[in-house]
A and B are shown apart, each in its own frame.
Chain A
């Protein structure tokens, strides 16, 4: 059974800092990995999708890397802003692919101090 762990559980940094969020998963036979953002009481916003054949994916100030063999992914946020404050979730499909849903980590609760 796929398990996803995210570290740290919470992070508070001053505005402008670069930061790294970590995600690890137990079954490396995945087709892709997805990073989401969740604001309080809201649904999920997809940030980045990395296919298993890719090493990294970039969108604006966000960069996600994937090391499938070691079961790890990182989300790098450059020049953080107060608007980046949210919970960031990492999710993967079951190992071996298939039509099943995603397994989520518990998230990193991020606060960017103005």
Chain B
């Protein structure tokens, strides 16, 4: 299967600071990438859809000014959690696919802890 790399795998930050998470498709071009969040013992919830060269589409209830998404190239999308609060602590996972309605591949996830 295709490889999606996510970095960092874990990060600890202080309240009020910003954290950037990178998602790269290593061996294919992804016109669309997705960002998910997973709380303990819960399933993945879609946060936003990241489209190369255009604005991200956010799911209802997700603050676009807090979770900044940039998809500057066909192999890289970034998620920046701005002014992080302890309640933002979660597991963030990105996903990418080559074409619409094809197999989705996931990154390793990023464990964010805000203290």
A: which residues have CB within 8 A of B? 31-32, 34, 36, 41-46, 49, 89, 91, 93, 97-107
**Residue contact A49 to B103, C-beta cutoff 8 Å:** yes
Q: List 19 A-B contacts (CB under 8 A).
A: A34-B104, A36-B106, A41-B111, A42-B108, A42-B109, A43-B93, A44-B93, A91-B44, A91-B104, A97-B100, A97-B101, A98-B100, A101-B34, A102-B44, A102-B46, A102-B95, A103-B46, A104-B43, A105-B43
A32 to B101, CA, bound (A): 7
Q: How far is the CA of A99 from the CA of B108 in the complex (A)?
A: 22
The reply to whether B109 and A43 form a contact with Cβ atoms under 8 Å apart is: yes
A-B pairs with CB below 8 Å: how many?
A: 62
Q: Which of B6, B44, B57, B107 has the most CB of A within 10 A?
A: B44
Contacts of A42 on B, CB cut-off 8 Å? Answer: 108-109
State which of B44, B101, B111 has its C-beta within 8 Å of the C-beta of A93: B101
Chain A residue contacts of B45, Cβ below 8 A: 104
The 10 lowest CB-CB distance pairs between A and B, nearest first, are: A44-B106, A101-B46, A101-B34, A43-B108, A31-B101, A43-B109, A104-B43, A49-B103, A106-B43, A104-B44
Residue of A nearest to B100 (CB): A99
Q: In the complex the two chains form, what is the Cα distance from A103 to B100 in whole Å? A: 15
Q: Which residues of B contact A102 (CB under 8 A)?
A: 34, 44, 46, 95, 104
Q: How far is the CB of B51 from chain A (nearest CB, A)?
A: 8
Complex: chain A residue closest to B109, CB-CB: A43
B106, A46: Cβ atoms closer than 8 Å: yes
Q: List the B residue with the shortest CB-CB distance to A30.
A: B101
- Cα–Cα, bound, A97→B100 (Å): 9
Q: How far is the CA of A89 from the CA of B57 in the complex (A)?
A: 24
Contacts known (A43-B109, A89-B43, A106-B42); A100 close to B49, Cβ less than 8 A: yes
Interface residues of B in 91-107 (CB under 8 A from A): 91, 93, 95, 100-107
